[in-house]
Amino acid sequence: MRSGQSIPVLKTETLFGGARIRRRVVVVFAFVVAAVIAGSFIRTIRNVYRGGVNDWRVYYDAGVAFRERTPLYNMDRGPFLTFKNAPIVALGAVPISLLKPVPARIVWYLADLSLLGFLLWTIPRLVGDSDREVPPWVGWIAMVLIWQYALYQLRMGQTTALWVALCAGGFLALKRARPATAGAAFAAAACVKLVPLVFLPYLILRRGGWRGILGFLLTLAILLLAPAGWVGWNGNLNLLTEWYRHLAATETPYQLYRVENASMLAQFIRGLTPTRYQINLMNLSVETASRLYLISGVVTGGMLFGYLWRSLRRTHYVGHEGVHLSLLLIYLTIFNPLAWRYNFIALIVPYAVVLWSAWEDRARRRRVIILTVAAVLLHLIPMDGWMNFQSMGARLWGTVLLAVAVLIAGGKKRESAEAENGTDGLCSDPCNVRGMFGCARWSCDIDVRG
């Protein structure tokens, strides 16, 4: 922004009219949210009381098994309902396993609600720039757009909300120039689910990245070794070995291609190999389709990190963490071999980014809104409705459209930063190469002389 030009102030009070109307909207919205949560809570607790088993029970039983030193990784309920996390997660579930199932499930449900609340608290601080305040309604509308996945998360009790909250907290730490804390958060998230390992290369690209890497490695070592205090060093080594073998054993073909799995791998297998969904375009083997998936993942990942490196090199950090986190969350969601419905609560951050971009940037508003509406509609298609579109990848392609909308929002932020500095962004800072290998102070001299 040029000197002397005032910064436009966003007046969010114009969104819902006068103060009285806004209060009524808030009251009605709070009542609807409370009613939906109450209904979900009653249904969830009733299911536990009747002896129902879902994902939450896996963690509860893992805490019992760890406490009683019985086999932690087993196939007693098949490959669907089995513990696949690091041993430290089972150790963390020990306290709740001391309770009876019903009170334990109540505590777990409230913990999930707290994690979703933490995401709502984080989003305004993560999405906005330093000179603008993002109003809370951005996070709430984003939550409404992923509400079907949030409710599914609350009902099933998976650990997705935990690792997404840890990743969001890690990026907030990066925004506040605390890379070691961010690395620790990413390490904890990787112990819950392996997919947050994708944040490790991102730490390398950032300024002061070595502190983030150090925090990641130190925290990871502590978390992986901590169960040794309960089971001993040999017992902990056996658990880590069993964890690796168990992960490989549970990747069954049906797990990979059934319609509930909305990953890129599942779409490759459903579309390129003979399956019961009868949408195969080719009759390749599962192994060949898996290789194509790996190639596409590597190529897409290379393009993504190339974009992130260029973005970090050409602009200031402030205000870009939300865009970068959104793209990384989308990538690890669709390229996760098992992308179940609750995994898509990670889209709350991308939705918040595009909502805020559409609100503050008129030039890109139409494109962002069109892409976002299309993404929402594709996610709303029922699992067994509309010509079985979900087996054709409706949720996957909706997420891809959302990624395009985030890229448009990221382009707006990049151009704004360049305009504010009056340059093309390359020399906006004397120390402009923001990787872990130091700063290329000479590059600005070359540009000036040249």
Does residue 25 carry a pLDDT above 60? yes
Q: What percent of the chain has pLDDT over 70?
A: 82
Give the torsion sign (CA, 262, 264, 270, 274): negative
pLDDT tens-digit series, residues 116-170: 999 999 998 888 765 566 888 899 999 999 999 999 999 999 999 999 999 999 9
Structure tokens at 301: 């990942």
Q: What is the per-residue DSSP string for 344-375?
A: GGGGHHHHHHHHHHHHH-HHHHHHHHHHHHHH
Structure tokens at 359: 């609100």
Does residue 17 carry a pLDDT above 90? no
Beta bridge partners of 438: 435
* pLDDT for position 241: 92
Structure tokens at 26: 């808030």
In whole angstroms, what is the distance from residue 206 CA to residue 437 CA?
Answer: 9
Q: In degrees rounded to 5, what are phi and psi of residue 154? A: -65, -40
Q: 323 versus 429: which is more confidently predicted?
A: 323
The set of residues, in sequence order, having a beta carbon less than 8 Å from that of 212 and lying 6+ positions away, is 174, 179, 180, 182, 183, 186, 203, 206
Tell me if 405 sits within 8 A of 372, measured CB to CB: yes
pLDDT class for 274, splitting at 50, 70, 90?
confident
For residue 76, the number of C-alpha atoms closer than 13 Å in the C-beta half-sphere is: 12
Single out the residue of 403, 5, 393, 325 nearest to residue 167, CA to CA.
325
In whole angstroms, what is the distance from residue 356 CA to residue 76 CA?
Answer: 47
Residue 21: C-alpha distances to residues 17, 25, 65, 158 (Å): 6, 6, 54, 38
Which DSSP state fits 17?
Answer: -
* pLDDT for position 1: 45
* pLDDT for position 364: 83
In whole angstroms, what is the distance from residue 45 CA to residue 50 CA?
Answer: 9
CA 164 to chain centroid, in Å, comes to: 5
* pLDDT for position 385: 56
Q: Give, to the nearest 10 degrees, the angle between helix 19-49 and helix 147-156.
A: 30
Most confident of 8-17, 72-81, 207-216: 207-216
Tell me if 271 sits within 8 A of 281, measured CB to CB: yes
In whole angstroms, what is the distance from residue 219 CA to residue 211 CA?
Answer: 12
Q: In degrees rounded to 5, what are phi and psi of residue 38? A: -65, -45
Q: In degrees rounded to 5, what are phi and psi of residue 438? A: 100, -170
pLDDT tens-digit series, residues 94-127: 999 999 999 999 999 999 999 999 999 999 888 8
* pLDDT for position 449: 30
Tell me if 249 sits within 8 A of 255, measured CB to CB: no
pLDDT tens-digit series, residues 37-65: 999 999 999 999 888 888 899 999 999 99
Single out the residue of 264, 261, 260, 280 nearest to residue 272, CA to CA.
280
Give the torsion sign (CA, 81, 158, 275, 244): negative
Tell me if 399 sits within 8 A of 344, measured CB to CB: yes
In whole angstroms, what is the distance from residue 433 CA to residue 156 CA?
Answer: 44
User: What value does the CA radius of gyration of the chain take, rounded to a whole number of Å?
Assistant: 23
Structure tokens at 131: 């000179």
In whole angstroms, what is the distance from residue 357 CA to residue 15 CA?
Answer: 15
* pLDDT for position 442: 31
Most confident of 67-76, 77-86, 267-276, 306-315: 67-76
Does residue 308 carry a pLDDT above 80? yes
In whole angstroms, what is the distance from residue 356 CA to residue 339 CA?
Answer: 26
Q: Give the three-class secondary structure for 107.
A: helix
Q: What is the mean pLDDT of the chain?
A: 82
The set of residues, in sequence order, having a beta carbon less than 8 Å from that of 92 and lying 6+ positions away, is 63
Ramachandran sector of residue 410 (left: φ over 0; alpha: ψ -120 to 50; beta: rest):
alpha
pLDDT class for 278, splitting at 50, 70, 90?
low
One-letter amino acid at 163 equals: W
Q: 164 versus 448: which is more confidently predicted?
A: 164
In whole angstroms, what is the distance from residue 221 CA to residue 198 CA?
Answer: 18
* pLDDT for position 81: 82
Beta bridge partners of 266: none
Q: What percent of the chain has pLDDT over 90?
A: 48
pLDDT tens-digit series, residues 392-431: 788 899 999 999 999 998 765 444 444 444 444 444 444 4
* pLDDT for position 130: 58
How many C-beta atoms surround the C-beta of residue 154 within 10 A?
A: 24
pLDDT class for 448, splitting at 50, 70, 90?
very low
